[in-house]
Amino acid sequence: MLKNAYLGTGTEKRMLLEVIDFHNEKFTEKVEKGKRSGGTLKKWVSTRDKLVAYMKHVHKLPDIPLERIEYAFAEDFFDYLTLTLGLQDNSAMKYLKNTKQLLKLAVQRKWVQRNALEDYACSYVNPERDILDIGEVSLLFSKKIPIPRLEEAKDAYLFMTLTGYAYKDALLLSPDNIMKFFDGEDWIVKNRAKTWCRENVPLLPLAKEILNKYKDHPYCLAHNCLLPIKSNQRFNGYLKEIADLCGIKKNLTTHTARHTFATTVTLANGVPLETVSAMLGHKSIRTTQIYAKIVASKVSQDMRPLYEKFSLELPESFKKLKAV
């Protein structure tokens, strides 16, 4: 099937599942060669499963010809995902985005003349994101926890807030990822596991301090890694304990560390949006702009009390001019 699809042989009408199977087989090869993330492949497999279930439930068909797909297909698929399966809107939109990408692939391969879903807008609702302020970051850094597993998790979390690395990327870091860059400073140089985009980040002094603390740690030496990070499930559990010990009321997760780097550490300190986007390994700067909106919203919120408190009495001469 893959060979025929690649060569465009055969005269039968192309079916939707043919396209996704072709895509997923190619994607699997890239994963095996280390060119793509296995986690992303799982999402594409899930997309296939959702499409199969949708066509069976709504259309009463095991598959559908590409030429029969119309705009309403997307609307009905979204309703199925949100109303029947109970998915959140943002989660459903990710499946719609993948489906649009499949039809775009079909057009590029000349398996269908047009992408019927091209004009379907995949809109997302920006969720509320827990972000640490500079005081909370300082509190974490200065807090000494006598329980080794919690102290290690705290330091790993802080490292993520100082570099922007996601959990999986931080987990995979090894000493080989640290190198002197063109400016003579230490950088971490790697590809981001999720998007395979280059994610090069200069090491801030506090981040270096954390790495030096664990350079001779038995776990790090045994696993050739920079930080003694355990499984994600345990790690997030440890973060809840750490938040309680530090009196932080926010939900600490590996995601909040990345969000904190994008906002409190970089954008709020004048680092340009383009630079932050490059360090985060985003494919599109539009993804990074979400954080810029958060920073602007926070500035507005912080300034609001000043509207009421801050006022200047105009000199009498100014008042007279204003009256005129």
Residue 19 three-state SS: helix
Per-residue model confidence as pLDDT tens digits over 267-311: 888 888 888 888 888 777 877 877 777 677 666 666 677 666 665
> In angstroms, rounded to a whole number, what is the distance separating the alpha carbons of residues 36 and 27?
7
> In angstroms, rounded to a whole number, what is the distance separating the alpha carbons of residues 198 and 205?
22
- The answer to whether residues 159 and 48 belong to one domain is no
- The answer to whether residues 273 and 185 belong to one domain is yes
pLDDT at 10: 47
- The answer to whether residues 279 and 147 belong to one domain is yes
> In angstroms, rounded to a whole number, what is the distance separating the alpha carbons of residues 19 and 220?
43
- The answer to whether residues 304 and 213 belong to one domain is yes
Q: Which of 93, 108, 123 is the last residue of a domain?
A: 108
Residue 283 three-state SS: coil
> How confident is the model over 127-156, as a mean pLDDT?
90
pLDDT at 192: 57
- The answer to whether residues 239 and 303 belong to one domain is yes
pLDDT at 26: 95
pLDDT at 295: 72
pLDDT at 284: 76
Per-residue model confidence as pLDDT tens digits over 51-109: 999 999 999 999 999 999 999 999 999 999 998 999 988 899 999 999 999 999 999 99
Confidence of residue 6 (pLDDT cuts 50, 70, 90): very low
- The answer to whether residues 60 and 144 belong to one domain is no
| Higher-scoring residue by pLDDT: 300, 248 | 248
pLDDT at 285: 80
Query: Contact 258/166 with Cβ under 8 angstroms?
Result: yes
pLDDT at 56: 94
Which tokens belong to 294? 């958060």
- The answer to whether residues 174 and 225 belong to one domain is yes
Q: Indicate the number of domains in the chain.
A: 2
Claim: this prediction has a pTM higher than 0.95: no
What phi and psi values does residue 178 have, to the nearest 5 degrees? -95, 130
What phi and psi values does residue 180 have, to the nearest 5 degrees? -75, 125
pLDDT at 187: 92
| Higher-scoring residue by pLDDT: 222, 39 | 222
Quote the mean pLDDT of the chain: 85
Q: Is the pLDDT of residue 45 over 90?
A: yes
- The answer to whether residues 198 and 244 belong to one domain is yes
| Higher-scoring residue by pLDDT: 181, 162 | 162
- The answer to whether residues 103 and 149 belong to one domain is no
CATH number for the domain harbouring residue 228: 1.10.443.10
Residue 128 three-state SS: coil
- The answer to whether residues 139 and 93 belong to one domain is no
Q: Is the pLDDT of residue 127 over 90?
A: no
> In angstroms, rounded to a whole number, what is the distance separating the alpha carbons of residues 276 and 282?
9
How many other C-beta atoms can be found within 10 angstroms of the C-beta atom of residue 170?
23
- The answer to whether residues 214 and 277 belong to one domain is yes
How far the first Cα of the chain sits from its last, in Å, is: 83
Distances (CA, A) of 176 to 101, 160, 263: 36, 18, 28
% of the chain at pLDDT higher than 70: 83
The answer as to whether 125 is a domain residue is no
Range of the domain at 149: 134-308
Q: Is the pLDDT of residue 131 over 80?
A: yes
- The answer to whether residues 166 and 70 belong to one domain is no
Query: Contact 235/254 with Cβ under 8 angstroms?
Result: yes
Query: Contact 108/119 with Cβ under 8 angstroms?
Result: no
Residue 202 three-state SS: strand
Q: Which of 202, 249, 149 is nearest to 157 (CA)?
A: 149
What phi and psi values does residue 186 have, to the nearest 5 degrees? -75, 130
